[in-house]
Structure 1
């Protein structure tokens, strides 16, 4: 009887949690995109426009990326992945300030605010990536993935890494304004090193090991391995990326727990 009550309580808590995050999601969409023009469509139209711009530029300049892979597919897999992990921390920095009034509600927790923003960013980047792949494949500008499961797993690992990093950076930014000032230059420095614009196999042997120390490189290499398969020689370590994501998750949740004790609702 006790186990049934426990399961029932857990299901009730999960139902409340879903409703809270759903309401926060709708609030974020309306706050960020409004009800005018294309509204909600900006959620994935914005990352699509950025990726399309980069793809068009690379195609026009015939940029060399160290392989014979189609430039359109190379750009889409690279820059869509960057938008997935890079935008999450930016959206979580100082995320509590405009939501302090919501903390008066018993069921709204600090984590809920971050989860709503993370789901919104991950959803927008994912929809953008899928739509671009489908559209370009229908135009014969790129082919579909050779191993869809591996692509999905790599995308999920990059999303996990981005979400864990975002929670840690977001929680730290509430306690120090320096985090907000430092994250932007750091994210710009990480951008060219993330693996979006190059293949590890094209780098000198001495540099390949150093590049693989950057966790995002492993995720993008895995995603491209799933997408292009035998067309390239990929280098990545799934265990290393999982260890980074898990470590950041633990640090982020610990930081968030400390932050929750100091939050004062408006």
Structure 2
């Protein structure tokens, strides 16, 4: 058991380094571009939207509100979409017995988690140095929210990898299907603006729960309305279990294709 786990960790680590070099090793700034790209994107968005909406949020600054939504959403979206072609990008490596498709998705998820969490910390540090009010008393809670979001993204990534290898049009269709989540996850609006009678339209979305809980963890005065830490974890574990179950059942067919 220990030997199998050690082999898997070695495979994931090697694929992680390969993914990092493939995505950023050819740029002049090298691996630093992995951080500069999302940070620059956040800075531009904040400069534009922060000017327009700096008075629109209750008990929280708009930059902090926005960062607690867009960065975690980027983790979820990037893991899901990059898992679609994980098989094709690493197919030549699957001829080696220790390397499995699951390793490729784990490596991509690990890289995205590292990039987005580093981006999150850097941007928050910048906002704090600029005088934006925030609290660090609930950092452990914020970490558990990131962990739940990573497991949720990983489960969706497994499902998308299987679908991407089984259906030719999946790489075109699935990104379109998850795009509405950008507007249904509360990235640009607080939950309280939705009348209580209509909140069921978005309450099912675990991303909304994650973003609202993250905002409350960093700004305790930010109000919570019906969001649940338990629901977020339940969705994360169900998606992870479903993704692993689907992958386990389809792995032989995926390797033969």
TM range (shorter): over 0.9
CA offset digits 1:167-223 (Å, max 9, x no partner): 111211110023222222222211011121122122211122332111111111111
Residue number in structure 1 paired with 2:61: 70
| Structure 1 residue 142: Cα displacement | 4.2
1:220 corresponds in structure 2 to 211
Q: Which runs of 4+ in 1 moved over 3 A?
A: 63-66, 263-266
Give the Cα separation in 2 of the matches to 1:64 and 1:193: 22
Q: Does 1:229 align with 2:239?
A: no
2:183 is the counterpart of 1:192: yes
CA distance in 1, matches of 2:224, 2:243: 34
Which residue of the partner structure matches residue 122 of structure 1? 113
Query: CA shift at 1:259, angstroms?
Result: 2.8
Q: How does 1:133-152 map to 2 (within 5 A)?
A: 133-152=124-143
**Preserved CA contact (<8 Å) 1:137 1:144:** no
Return the match for 1:246 from 237, 243, 249: 237
Give the match for residue 21 of structure 1: 12
The answer to whether residue 161 in structure 2 is matched with residue 170 in structure 1 is: yes
Q: Which residue of 2 aligns with 1:5?
A: none
Going from structure 1 to structure 2, the CA distance change for 1:209 and 1:93 (only over 3 Å counts) comes to same
Q: Higher mean Cα deviation, 203-212 or 218-227?
A: 203-212
Q: Tell me how far apart the structure 1 counterparts of residues 123 and 162 of structure 2 sit (CA, whole Å).
A: 33
Give the counterpart of 1:202 among 182, 193, 202.
193
**Aligned residues of 1:43 and 1:124 also touching (Cα < 8 A):** yes
What is the SS of the residue equivalent to 1:177? Answer: coil
| 1:16–1:107 contact (8 Å) kept in structure 2 | yes
Change (3 A) 1:213 1:265: closer
Name the CA shift for 1:157/1:143 in 2 (closer, same or farther; >3 Å): same
Q: Distance in 2 between the 1:149 and 1:264 partners?
A: 40
Q: CA RMSD in A?
A: 1.9
Closer, same or farther: CA 134–144 of 1 in aligned 2, 3 Å: farther
State the aligned residue count: 257
Counterparts of 2:176 and 2:26, CA distance in 1: 33
For the 8 Å contact 1:104–1:265, the answer to whether it is kept is no
Structure 1: distance between partners of 2:132 and 2:164: 42
3-state SS of paired residue (1:54) = helix
Change (3 A) 1:87 1:162: same
Contact 2:83-2:108 within 8 A present in 1 as well: yes
Q: Which moved more, 1:199-208 or 1:35-44?
A: 35-44
**1:43 aligned partner:** 34
C-alpha distance in 2, partners of 1:184/1:150?
30
Q: TM-score normalised to the size of structure 1?
A: 0.89
- Which 10-residue stretch deviates more, 174-183 or 110-119? 174-183
| Gapped regions of structure 1 (runs ≥ 5) | 1-9
Matched with 2:96 is 105
Quote the Cα distance in structure 2 between the aligned partners of 1:55 and 1:220.
Answer: 17
